[in-house]
Structure 1
Amino acid sequence: METSTDLGLLVLRLVIGGLILAHGSQKAFGAFGGMGPEGTAPLFETWGFRPGRSRVLLAAATEITGATLLVLGLLTPLGAAMILGTLLVAASVNADKGLWAVKGGYELPLLYALVAGALAFTGPGRISLDHAFGLTRSWTPVTGVVAVVVGALAAYAFIASSRRARALTPQETA
């Protein structure tokens, strides 16, 4: 029998997963007022994520896949790790502007990343495919830690490789 906790986790998964799914669809398809890969690529390149188009497609695919897993409550720790990693990269873009979104900061991507990380620990609840397939018995606090560490390390690797690539690219002169 579902509890209010299960309903709360379902709502949280649907809202966060749905928003991230739409966010990834903006990049991948130009949906929901997005710019699609061609329009987003130059922005990624200004952030040092080169080549822009392939990095946009990677980010979009990761967001769409992770969000779909969260919405379905399927392989929840994996979906959470994917979202956490991608949104930590997004947060890094505005790190120099501080926390608050009103000043262009990283508040919103950090919030998404932390909610995804929390879902790696709580699990999806009983209203999920994980529960229907009997997978929730496998999700432990260690699983949550592994998901958060994998997501954070993936973000770090992506950011570090982008910085190395930027350092090797001849700088444009004015």
Structure 2
Amino acid sequence: MLLRAALGGTMVAHGLNHGRSLDGTARWFGSIGFSAPKLQARASAVVETAAGVALVAGAGTPLAAAAVVGTMGVAGRAVHQRNGFFVNAEGYEYVLNVAIAATALAALGPGRWSVDRALRADRRLTGVPAAAVAAGLGIAAASAQLAAFWNRPAPAEKEVDAHP
């Protein structure tokens, strides 16, 4: 339950942060190479918030975890990968750990105090198969989104010193 609350709460906060300024979020998506940046802004706000709420509630845990993996996969590829590992240099450390935590949560299951347990859905997909579904669907969704909407921006030109 602690992992669900921490991971889900983080995703809710992240999604609401995107949603509080859709125009600013859309400009940011456009600046990092996404076509249809307004669509990306809305989708990220909705998916992150909904996945977070579902994780906190323990509802549809493998699918909610897949949404987190997908979101982190897009962020990792489009923004963080080129910066190396460490988050203090805008690297992929954070997004990798969030994606792995989501995959682990799918494997562990939602726990006793969850919607999935109340509906007995936690017995349908568990363990390694649940983790594989979360990771596989998340990676597939991220790959599809990147292929459809993202073009790597050209590297910024370096300024040339005019003085000899």
TM over 0.5: yes
Separation in structure 1 between the aligned mates of residue 6 and residue 147 of structure 2, nearest angstrom: 31
Q: Which residue of 2 aligns with 1:14?
A: 5
Distance apart, 1:147 and its partner CA: 2.0
Matches within 5 A, 1:1-174: 10-28=1-19, 30=20, 36-92=21-77, 93-140=79-126, 141-163=128-150, 166=151
**Counterpart amino acid of residue 151 in structure 1:** G
**Counterpart amino acid of residue 119 in structure 1:** L
TM-score by length of 2: 0.87
Aligned residues: 150
RMSD: 1.3
Separation in structure 1 between the aligned mates of residue 13 and residue 90 of structure 2, nearest angstrom: 21
Separation in structure 2 between the aligned mates of residue 113 and residue 69 of structure 1, nearest angstrom: 16
Distance apart, 1:45 and its partner CA: 0.7
The runs of 5 or more residues in structure 2 that have no matched partner are: 153-164
TM-score by length of 1: 0.82
Deviations 1:25-52 (A, max 9, x none): 0111x2xxxxx11011111111111211
Contact kept in structure 2, 1:97 and 1:104, CA below 8 Å: yes
SS of structure 1 residue aligned to 2:136 = helix
The runs of 5 or more residues in structure 1 that have no matched partner are: 1-9, 31-35, 168-174
Separation in structure 1 between the aligned mates of residue 103 and residue 45 of structure 2, nearest angstrom: 19
| Identical pairs, percent | 36
